A and B are shown apart, each in its own frame.
Chain A
Amino acid sequence: MAEVRDGLRYTRTHEWVRLEGDVAVVGVTDFAQSELGDITYLELPEPGTTVKQGDSMGVIESVKAASDIYAPVSGEVVEANRAVVDAPEIVNKSPYDDAWLVKIRLSDPTELDRLMDAEAYRKYLSETAAMA
């Protein structure tokens, strides 16, 4: 069973957000890494890039498949995790901690209301699994 961590916000496309002041730390969920399998490649936006909620901002690729990473919030990318780009397998090992992907300075904090909390994401996952 995939880990869903309390206190984070989640998207339907399986990104998570942890708020640090006005900065959103973003990664992909345990469910996402588990579905993708062995992750071999990551493309992340450069710091300084402006991203818009719901738009593709990067790529995550495993032996099996490639998938877009969507911006969970709008704002300016202030940092990208180079360590994960150099060693993408970290995403499989530590999706919520070491494998944070980017930090985004929020341009519109109300967007966070459109994301799921842990309980809602758990429910979403169980519905997704029921459909499969």
Chain B
Amino acid sequence: MAAKTTVLYERHRALGARFIEFAGWLMPVQYEGIVSEHLAVRRQAGLFDLGHMGQVVVRGRDALPFLQELTPNDVAKLRPGRAHYSLFLYPSGGVVDDIIVYHLPGGGEYFLVVNAANTEKDLAWLADWRAQRPDLVVDIENVSDRTGMLAIQGPLAEAILQELTTYDLASVPWFGIVRVTVAGVETLVARTGYTGEDGFELYCPIERTGDVWDALLEAGRPKGLVPVGLGARDTLRIEAALPLYGQELSAEITPLEAGLDWVIRWEKGPFIGREALERQREQGPPRRLVGFELVGRGGIPRTGYEVRVGDDVIGAVTSGTASPTLGKTIGMALIASRYAGVGQPFQVVIRGKPVDAVQVSMPFYRRPRRTARA
């Protein structure tokens, strides 16, 4: 089956993008180069086409109790115009997907953004639970095909986006979402992202995505904005220690193992996966996701590479990269809990050779705090 393309495909080609197939989509992996795009996001701003990601609207009288049962974060605490990170969990405690839940301005409608690779699985999952609760009045709508998604990320993201809207973006809090006009297009603008920088994710009618993209590039170019592909998206999220489904999260990895304890609001009551996670919390998770850096050179620790202490295999690398910002080789690994601890050494086996690494705290990169906004 041919890979799908987003509505911006021809624009990416014209910008000189190279493409890779990701989750059934043909997406730009890079334009100028991964490192230069990465650094542009850290220093100025970058523009991302996220048209591959899925969006689902959950509405109806019982949307709140439905989502409350389906996700471990506390949806009752989510006011209109705010978002939180959350998960779909299997009863086993493993992860179906990691998601952002937006409570849309006005209230009562929830907008869920899910991973491209999991969109179909998530929709089936939602339909399945929906069918088990015929008593609930809930409407689930897949709006992925009519929603364009862009992200503008970096220290200059707000200034660039502000040129295209009259809404005072400085008033949008972290994980806030507003419905505004951007370059003449009605858009949901959320202060969220996947890079470790300040920035926004934008949702607009799919047929207007190109107009918003063009306007952002034009407004941003003089300030150093560049288009950014999936290559730098990955290195940026690794520096920020943000998990990627399929690597740090999966059906076989629980949120407790992945260090996502903060997502689980035990006080909220029942949710799918709760019993399994309670048991694991009592016993202690058998594995832990840890951050590490290589002590010397030795190549890039890639997904699946063995982690050892002496001759004992203690786990595997989930993600790794040469960090453009830090000038170090960094990674995350899922290892037996008893070996986890900042400062503890282990070896990563790269092409058959054990390379020394030491555990470090995450995130690897934290954006500098700017002086308070007026």
Q: A40-B322, A41-B322 are in contact. Are A63 and B35 (CB under 8 A)?
A: yes
Main secondary structure of the interface of A (DSSP, over half): strand
Number of A residues, CB within 8 Å of B: 11
Question: B193 interface residue, CB < 8 Å from A?
Answer: no
> A83 on the interface (CB 8 Å rule)?
no
CB-defined A-B contacts under 8 Å, sample of 30: A37-B30, A37-B33, A37-B34, A37-B231, A38-B33, A38-B35, A38-B324, A40-B300, A40-B329, A41-B297, A41-B298, A41-B299, A41-B300, A41-B322, A43-B299, A59-B299, A61-B299, A61-B300, A63-B34, A63-B35, A63-B235, A63-B321, A63-B322, A64-B29, A64-B34, A64-B231, A66-B299, A66-B300, A66-B302, A92-B33
Nearest B residue to A64, CB-CB:
B231
A33-77 contacts to B (CB < 8 Å): 37-38, 40-41, 43, 59, 61, 63-64, 66
Q: Which A residues touch B321, using CB under 8 A?
A: 63
> CA of A109 to CA of B216 in the docked complex: distance in angstroms?
58
Q: Specify which of B30, B329, B351 is in contact with A59 (CB 8 Å cutoff).
A: B351
State A95–B297 Cα separation when bound (angstroms): 21
The 7 A-B pairs with the shortest beta carbon distances in the complex, nearest first, are: A40-B322, A38-B35, A63-B34, A41-B299, A61-B299, A38-B34, A38-B33
Complex Cα gap A59–B299 (Å) = 9
Rounded to whole angstroms, the CA-CA distance of A50 and B30 in the bound complex is 38
Interface residues of B in 291-348 (CB under 8 A from A): 297-300, 302, 321-322, 324, 329
A37 to B17, CA, bound (A): 12
Cα distance, A111 to B231, chains bound together (Å) = 39
Instruction: Name the residue among B29, B298, B299, B321 with the largest chain A CB count within 10 angstroms.
Output: B299
What sequence of 0s and 1s flags, for each residue 2-40 of chain A, a beta carbon within 8 Å of any chain B beta carbon? Answer: 000000000000000000000000000000000001101
B195 CB to closest chain A CB (Å) equals: 16
Shortest A123–chain B CB gap in Å is: 23
**B34 contact set on A, CB distance < 8 A:** 37-38, 63-64
| Contact partners of A92 in chain B: CB under 8 A | 33
